[in-house]
């Protein structure tokens, strides 16, 4: 099932891993049009209920933003109400853990290539004041061309402050004694973890692995670590001495830096250049077996691919709505065409640059035009409704523009689709307000253009001169002669609320269900309006054959929109 967007941007595609430091998902970045890996770490709750920001978040964010060829790139780091999100480049190749499980210990050339790259990443991090604290095969990934990259810088520190990691972050089997005990740490802590990784690369064994912190402390403090040559007698004896020195119990007995340790160790290993060729071959073999094929993109619809243009589209809509409102409102003042067009153009620019401001200018101009045209009651009602909608929906974005432009769909008999499409990517409360407002505007526009019940037909010429008083006055009187419009407004609001509720599941199937039940709500509302109107005037007709063409055409449009992709819904609290 499709899932809501993460941070209003990332479409989850597949779960990649789950562990003590949180879950990792493969996702599609709808703005940059690429796949990313997202690590999700739940944030703890305070005693009083609200989520708290981890103490190590700032330090961990700094650590994660290291920029080095051998470090997995972090594109973004953010939080919402209950999770921290680390947005990383997606490395499609295997981890060293996968490689070791498949082929066992690495030959000296391949091990040298890995150790050289990992040492470079750690040295760069240490030069920038960052410790990794969780060096292990799972955190070293191979790109498709075989380049090793170290992942999860800063995650161990963050995991400690959120209560997700044992001791001070890290993984049992790759933590020295001071880390297991929660004592102060420095670069020599990573030297020990890196040495444990090198031990495993050369022997496919980790003598420090344990199921508990107590067991790991015992192995680190009491047991003497075995020499690597006990697992592979072909290893040079100097490798034993170098690795055992780096794995000393006390930090002051170890090498003072990763660079010094790696320099000494690499002198007795193979040729890194040959090793890099071997890694490229290994990565190619794993790439052929990769589960992340084109099928991963099945959940990526057209709207996901177009969402990067969403902001521009909303601003264009706001500009168009603002320009039309100003054009219509001040048109009653008999201005010269050039002045009228100039005012509309300025409103369009305001809507493009600041949608909330442009919409406010447009609404004010339109209300002024209504009042100047003698429609005092309508001007007051429009001012109250428009002001309410602008304050709660439109002042911080372009959402209100969709409702303002919905009457234009009536020219093509598609107006009812507006109530459903407005709800496609907004929360239920906002959808309900927008649906009710769009329904009221559609009926008013239809009546003002000479339409009759069920007030869905809109003459395109209405948009050129919406305040033509002879047509407007008579049509509005007929529309407002019964309480039937209230049933229609309620139906539009209900349809939008239903669609929004179903779209919370962020799947095409759920959106289809929302569209179906939303259309039923619309039909029920118009039927109720028909009953109300007929009870007052036997000749009045609000539904039946006059309504069905609009609902049919709107249903087709809604289905086409849904087919283009699942709803663009952010995760909701």
The pLDDT tens digits of the residues spanning 283-308 come to 888 876 555 544 455 567 777 777 77
Does 7 have pLDDT greater than 60? yes
Give the CATH number of domain 10-290; options: 1.10.510.10, 3.40.718.10, 3.40.50.10800, 3.90.950.20. 1.10.510.10
At residue 60, the pLDDT reads 61
Where residue 573 falls among pLDDT bands split at 50, 70, 90? low
User: What are the strands of the beta sheet with 22-29, ordered from one edge?
Assistant: 10-19, 22-29, 34-42, 83-89, 74-79
Per-residue pLDDT tens digits for 264-281: 999 999 999 999 999 999
* Three-class SS state of 17: strand
Work out the number of other CB atoms within 10 angstroms of the CB of residue 331.
Answer: 21
* Three-class SS state of 35: strand
Per-residue pLDDT tens digits for 364-394: 999 999 898 888 888 999 999 999 999 999 8
Q: Which of 2, 29, 109, 134 is catalytic?
A: 134
Three-class DSSP labels, 186-232:
CHHHHHHHHHHHHHHHHHCCCCCCCCCHHHHHHHHHCCCCCCHHHCC
At residue 170, the pLDDT reads 72
Where residue 567 falls among pLDDT bands split at 50, 70, 90? confident
Global pTM reads 0.72
Better-predicted residue by pLDDT, 560 or 49: 560
DSSP H/E element including 140: strand 140-142
d(CA 24, CA 10): 13
Name every residue whose Cβ is closer than 8 Å to that of residue 144 and which is 6 or more positions away in sequence: 92, 93, 283, 284, 287
At residue 165, the pLDDT reads 45
Phi/psi-derived region of residue 54, left when phi > 0, alpha when psi is between -120 and 50, beta in every other case: beta
**Smallest Cα–Cα separation from 196: which of 156, 150, 230, 243?**
243
Better-predicted residue by pLDDT, 568 or 357: 357
Structure tokens at 154: 């800063």
Q: Is 80 a catalytic residue?
A: no
d(CA 133, CA 122): 10
Where residue 141 falls among pLDDT bands split at 50, 70, 90? very high
The percent of residues above 90 in pLDDT, for the chain, comes to 49
DSSP H/E element including 38: strand 34-42
> Contact 204/104 with Cβ under 8 angstroms?
yes
Q: What percent of the chain is helix, strand and coil (3-state, nearest 5)?
A: 60, 10, 30
pLDDT, average across residues 135-147: 92
Torsion 331-337-343-344 (CA) sign:
positive
What's the chain's average pLDDT? 86
At residue 533, the pLDDT reads 87
Torsion of CA 494, 413, 381, 376, to 10 degrees: -160
At residue 541, the pLDDT reads 76
Better-predicted residue by pLDDT, 340 or 335: 340
Does 459 have pLDDT greater than 60? yes
Does 185 have pLDDT greater than 50? yes
Output DSSP code: residue 149. Answer: E
**Smallest Cα–Cα separation from 42: which of 140, 212, 192, 165?**
165
Residue at token pair 């100097």: 238
Q: For strands 22-29 and 10-19, give the pairing.
A: antiparallel
Domain range list for the chain: 10-290, 309-394, 398-573
DSSP string, 79-138: E-SSEEEEEEE---S-BHHHHHHHH-SPPHHHHHHHHHHHHHHHHHHHHTT-------GG
Three-class DSSP labels, 233-274:
CCCCHHHHHHHHHHCCCCHHHCCCCHHHHHHHHHCCCCCHHH
Three-class DSSP labels, 493-528:
HHHHHHHHHHHCCCCHHHHHHHHHHHHHHHHHHHHH
> Contact 169/56 with Cβ under 8 angstroms?
no
Work out the number of other CB atoms within 10 angstroms of the CB of residue 57.
Answer: 20
């Amino acid at each position: 099932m499709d899932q809501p967007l993460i941070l209003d941007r990332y479409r989850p595609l597949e779960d990649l891993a789950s562990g003590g430091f949180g879950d990792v998902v493969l996702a599609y970045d709808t703005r940059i049009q690429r796949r990313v890996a997202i690590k999700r770490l739940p944030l703890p709750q305070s005693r009083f209920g609200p989520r708290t920001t981890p103490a190590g978040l700032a330090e961990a964010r700094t650590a994660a933003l290291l920029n080095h060829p051998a470090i997995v790139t972090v594109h973004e780091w953010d939080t919402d109400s209950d999770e921290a999100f680390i947005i990383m480049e997606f490395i499609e190749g295997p981890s060293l853990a996968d490689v070791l499980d498949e082929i066992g210990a690495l030959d000296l050339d391949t091990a040298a290539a890995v150790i050289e790259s990992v040492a470079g990443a750690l040295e760069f991090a240490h030069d920038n004041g960052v410790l990794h604290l969780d060096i292990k095969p799972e955190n070293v990934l191979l790109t498709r061309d075989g380049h090793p990259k170290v992942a999860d810088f800063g995650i161990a520190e963050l995991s400690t402050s959120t209560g997700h990691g044992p001791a001070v972050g890290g993984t049992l089997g790759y933590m020295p004694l001071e880390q297991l005990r929660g004592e102060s740490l420095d670069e020599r802590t990573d030297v020990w973890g890196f040495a444990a990784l090198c031990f495993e690369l050369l022997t496919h064994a980790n003598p420090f692995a344990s199921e508990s912190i107590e067991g790991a402390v015992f192995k680190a403090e009491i047991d003497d670590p075995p020499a690597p040559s006990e697992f592979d007698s072909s290893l040079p004896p100097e490798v034993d001495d170098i690795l055992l020195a780096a794995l000393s119990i006390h930090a002051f007995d170890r090498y003072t830096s990763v660079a010094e340790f790696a320099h000494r160790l690499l002198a007795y290993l193979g040729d890194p250049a040959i090793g890099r060729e071997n890694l490229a071959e290994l990565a190619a073999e794993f790439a052929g077996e990769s589960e992340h094929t084109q099928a991963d993109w099945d959940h990526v619809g057209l709207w996901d691919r177009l969402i990067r243009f969403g902001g521009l589209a909303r601003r264009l809509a706001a500009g168009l709505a603002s320009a039309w409102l100003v054009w219509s409102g001040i048109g009653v003042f008999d201005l010269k065409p050039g002045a009228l067009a100039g005012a509309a153009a300025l409103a369009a620019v305001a809507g493009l640059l600041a949608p909330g401001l442009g919409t406010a200018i447009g609404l004010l101009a339109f209300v002024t035009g209504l009042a100047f045209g003698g429609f005092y009651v309508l001007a007051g009602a429009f001012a109250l409704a428009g002001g309410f909608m602008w304050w709660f929906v439109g002042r911080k974005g372009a959402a209100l523009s969709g409702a303002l432009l919905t009457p234009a769909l009536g020219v093509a008999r598609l107006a009812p689709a507006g109530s459903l499409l407005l709800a496609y990517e907004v929360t239920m409360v906002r959808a309900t307000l927008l649906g009710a407002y769009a329904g009221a505007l559609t009926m008013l526009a239809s009546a003002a253009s000479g339409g009759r019940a069920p007030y869905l037909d809109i003459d395109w010429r209405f948009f050129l001169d919406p305040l033509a008083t002879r047509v407007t006055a008579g049509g509005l009187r007929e529309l407002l002669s019964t309480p039937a419009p209230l049933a229609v407004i309620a139906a539009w609001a209900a349809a939008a609320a239903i669609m929004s509720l179903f779209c919370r599941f962020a799947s095409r199937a759920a959106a289809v269900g929302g569209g179906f039940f939303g259309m039923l709500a619309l039909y029920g509302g118009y039927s109720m309006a028909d009953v109300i109107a007929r009870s007052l005037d036997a000749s009045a007709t609000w539904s039946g054959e006059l309504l069905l063409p609009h609902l049919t055409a709107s249903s087709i449009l809604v289905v086409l929109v849904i087919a283009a992709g699942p709803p663009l819904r952010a995760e909701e609290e």
